[in-house]
Amino acid sequence: MTLPTETAHPELEGLGTYEFGWADSDAAGAAAKRGLSEAVVRDISEKKNEPEWMLKLRLKGLKLFDKKPMPSWGSDLSGIDFDNIKY
C-alpha cells in the first residue's frame, strides 16, 4: 500500500503550531503519570518552570477541585475517571 504524498485534509496542516511561538512537545505527555494529585501539579509546575505564586495558586485550585462534588445537573458525568487521565 502506498501512502498519499499530499495531506487529505489541508486544513489540518497548521495543527501543532502556534503563531506566537508557544508549543508543547509530546515528551512531557509521554512521561506523565495518570491521575490528578499534588505531586502531579508540582511536577507540571516544575516542568513549566513556573514561579512559586503560580504553583500555590494551582495547589489551591486542586484543593477546591477535590472538595467539589461531581455536578448533578446537565449531562451524566459519572463515567469520567479523573484518576485515569494524564494531565
- DSSP assignment of 33-67 equals PBS--HHHHHHHHHHTT--HHHHHHHHHHHHHHHH
Q: Specify the pTM.
A: 0.60
Q: How far apart are CA 11 and CA 55, in angstroms?
A: 37
DSSP 28: H
- How many folded domains does the chain comprise? 1
In this prediction, residue 1 has a pLDDT band, given cuts at 50, 70 and 90, of low
Residue 19 lies in a domain: no
Residue 38 lies in a domain: yes
pLDDT in tens, 27-81: 656 677 789 999 999 998 998 899 999 999 999 999 999 999 988 888 998 899 9
pLDDT in tens, 6-25: 557 777 776 666 565 556 56
Residue 16 lies in a domain: no
Residue 62 lies in a domain: yes
Residue 51 lies in a domain: yes
Residue 85 lies in a domain: no
Q: How far apart are CA 74 and CA 87, in angstroms?
A: 24
Block residue for cell numbers 511561538 = 21
Residue 65 lies in a domain: yes
- 52: containing domain: 33-69
